[in-house]
Structure 1
């Protein structure tokens, strides 16, 4: 298993992750399935092999708490961190995007969100645009955002959280028969430049394909190394995938490299999942003997573990 350890060391040397971002990856990937709570001591042990010092970790969780992702609770000299209830829908939305198979299909309609001047104040408009662009929407014109296949449940949650519910117009648009218009599918070319996503997916596959070959030949390494691989894999895939506007397959260029990247991520994840989980449970139960096992949703990741 020395080769897998060498791969981990080389990855960390060439693409060292930022501490706060890596902590968020570990929270979403490893802690959320186990009740969404972790003692600081366990988190320190989980992050130490990545070069995240106690000081960096404490700073990271403090900032994540300030940003509304985590809540902290003191118990004597110990600190417990849990996913904030209000942040849970955002985290679950991100996890659906990361672990669920791509392949939305298009019914020929677009969802349009219209925010005329004066309908919402500037801070709400800025927050709404940021959230919707993260969700994959594109701004077609000032006050007009669109997506051909949005998650309607997520849209409602975003409107409520940003304070825009009941203040903007939402409608579905289709081509007008006989209107001599350009095909609506061509809006994709006008609204999104997919070249950065294509390049990022290809780079991800180029980086992790050699690792898959190692694991297929040698099997999963020890629990600690398997956890490191799983965490670095999801951290890298998350960075690429969460910039993907998640367009329907009919509107994507073919072949779409995101499909190959998802299959690659799933193959590696399945190979190291069992050993990685053993490592997570060992660290969690060291601080909390009754720490829960991974929930059912965890075993549905990447089509089933």
Structure 2
């Protein structure tokens, strides 16, 4: 687990519900549970501060860190996609984005491709990306934020004259490869669920183990945000394994949540000059709906 990625997971899962800020000592204690050394934590924080992803407040000899607005926005979008109800119905429209960047902006082009993939777009040609999801506002906001209006154009269309919808899906995404990843996740975590459930029933599941396993679970499941475009049912194969993986994720998450939050609270220290309003219930159950 890379330090920077793990910190995103910890902020999205826990810290955001406790004031969006953490003492570096608490963060070091948490990340030590995943084999991350103090020097690695401090190095990752320094790089993020330099990239304007994190900001620091000093109180005496203690440093308290929080994410900047752009990073918090990315964390919030990730959390919503993990825990919010998936859009199951399709309005029949394709969102089509085309771009043309001069060579001088090659680095920006590469960053935008990553952003589009994260958002759920798929490339059907070198500079044409599509999505069936209603994400126009998100894309327009991205264009405005990066000042890309001169290089990108966004369309929405209910008709693709040259290809049927399934062909478009096959051109932009490898659903078979994504399904195989879900299959591996299900195989691994079905066994993990049985092990943890036995421990819970025997009263041998500790708060620390719950914290570690819940964090690892989310960290692993979060990788699907970069792979699965979260299609409406109409465009998915029958018995899509993503649904089964999500149900399994929910069951394990909820089994571990109360004791995981209890252990987090034992390590977390708020800044002395801030009265933190903890949203403990939301930290325990961030799902917008229950999946059974």
TM range (shorter): 0.7 to 0.9
Structure 2 distance, partners of 1:64, 1:254, is: 42
CA contact (8 A) 1:71 1:83 kept: yes
Normalising by structure 2, what TM-score?
A: 0.87
- Tell me the residue number matched to 1:141: 125
Aligned to 1:86, the other structure's residue is in SS state helix
- Tell me the residue number matched to 2:179: 198
| Offset at residue 38 of structure 1 (A) | 0.5
Pair 1:215 & 2:196 matched: yes
Normalising by structure 1, what TM-score?
A: 0.83
| 1:225-264 equivalences in 2 (<5 Å) | 225-264=209-248
Higher mean C-alpha deviation, range 122-131 or range 143-152: 122-131
| 1:82-231 equivalences in 2 (<5 Å) | 82-116=66-100, 121-165=105-149, 168-175=152-159, 181-219=162-200, 221-231=205-215
| Offset at residue 287 of structure 1 (A) | 6.4
CA contact (8 A) 2:270 2:276 kept: no
Structure 1 distance, partners of 2:281, 2:72, is: 17
CA contact (8 A) 1:281 1:293 kept: no
CA contact (8 A) 2:95 2:156 kept: yes
Higher mean C-alpha deviation, range 227-236 or range 147-156: 147-156
| Offset at residue 200 of structure 1 (A) | 1.4
Structure 2 distance, partners of 1:71, 1:302, is: 30
* Closer, same or farther: CA 255–103 of 1 in aligned 2, 3 Å: farther
- Tell me the residue number matched to 2:289: 303
* Closer, same or farther: CA 174–303 of 1 in aligned 2, 3 Å: same
CA contact (8 A) 1:124 1:163 kept: no
| Offset at residue 103 of structure 1 (A) | 4.2
CA contact (8 A) 2:118 2:225 kept: no
* Closer, same or farther: CA 100–148 of 1 in aligned 2, 3 Å: same
* Closer, same or farther: CA 121–302 of 1 in aligned 2, 3 Å: same
* Closer, same or farther: CA 65–207 of 1 in aligned 2, 3 Å: farther
Structure 2 distance, partners of 1:156, 1:37, is: 30
* Closer, same or farther: CA 261–64 of 1 in aligned 2, 3 Å: farther
1:161-210 Cα deviation digits (max 9, x unpaired)? 2221465322111227xx6x432332001221123321211111111112
CA contact (8 A) 1:117 1:143 kept: no
Aligned to 1:81, the other structure's residue is in SS state strand
Structure 1 unaligned blocks of 5 or more: 1-16
- Tell me the residue number matched to 2:278: 293
Q: Which runs of 4+ in 1 moved over 6 A?
A: none
Aligned to 2:90, the other structure's residue is in SS state coil
| 1:268-287 equivalences in 2 (<5 Å) | 268-285=252-269
Q: CA RMSD in A?
A: 2.7
| 1:34-49 equivalences in 2 (<5 Å) | 34-49=18-33
